[in-house]
Chain A
Amino acid sequence: KNEVEQSPQNLTAQEGEFITINCSYSVGISALHWLQQHPGGGIVSLFMLSSGKKKHGRLIATINIQEKHSSLHITASHPRDSAVYICAVQIQGAQKLVFGQGTRLTINP
């Protein structure tokens, strides 16, 4: 079993829909990252969380440390949100990230 599991693996929605991507992990962490990867391959860091909730524009990320679970929400989704969203955890005491497999999101106009 992977240390970081994302669901769903693929998600297709219509423009304007509310999107939720989930991430569960099985190890002790010091922080959790949400990343966005566009078709060209480059990765952009969206959020770094160690507790609670963060919001940036239409994106909201939450984390529940006790349940070892995080969600990424996108409100009023738009076709430009189409990308692969990756959850990564920073292992406690280790200088490395462990990545989920990613969720491929497609927003249709």
Chain B
Amino acid sequence: DGGITQSPKYLFRKEGQNVTLSCEQNLNHDAMYWYRQDPGQGLRLIYYSQIVNDFQKGDIAEGYSVSREKKESFPLTVTSAQKNPTAFYLCASSQGSNYGYTFGSGTRLTVV
């Protein structure tokens, strides 16, 4: 079945370390997105990519980096520059703005 796979589900890192969250889709979707969710807040857009080898900053891109070398993959790196990295991270994909979105199951990152 087609879908989005995020791994790992839970991730613990020490403060000051970079960490990369994986997002893979087999839906042949052009667009992929990373969102951050904090308690009591709506999801906020970190980065998005509409096509391979191209991506744009979202509303809260500082302290994060992404790459889109393959259509299927859109990894997110949380760098040591991100001041408050502990959060729930969701990846999504879409065939385009006139289509619905498919979401992954999320990665809960805890920085200690």
| Contacts from A to B (Cβ < 8 Å) | 2, 4, 30-31, 33, 35, 40-45, 48, 86, 88, 90, 95-102
Q: Which secondary structure dominates chain B's binding surface? A: strand
Q: Is the CB of A41 within 8 A of B102?
A: no
Q: Determine the distance from Cα of A95 to Cα of B92 in the docked complex, in whole angstroms.
A: 13
Point out residues on B near A: beta carbons under 8 Å: 31, 33, 35, 37, 40-45, 48, 50, 58, 88, 90, 92, 97-106, 108
Tell me which residues across on chain A come within 8 A of B92, comparing CB atoms.
Answer: 43
Contact A41 B40 (CB under 8 A): no
Q: Name the CB-closest residue of B to A5.
A: B42
- On whether the beta carbons of A45 and B42 are closer than 8 Å, the reply is no
Residues in B neighbouring A102, C-beta threshold 8 A = 42
Residue from the list B31, B33, B88, B103 in contact with A45, Cβ < 8 A: B103
CA distance A97 to B90 in the complex (A): 13
Q: What residues of chain A lie closer than 8 Å to B101, measured between beta carbons?
A: 33, 45, 97
Contact B104 A42 (CB under 8 A): yes
Question: Which of chain A's residues have a CB closer than 8 A to the CB of B31?
Answer: 95
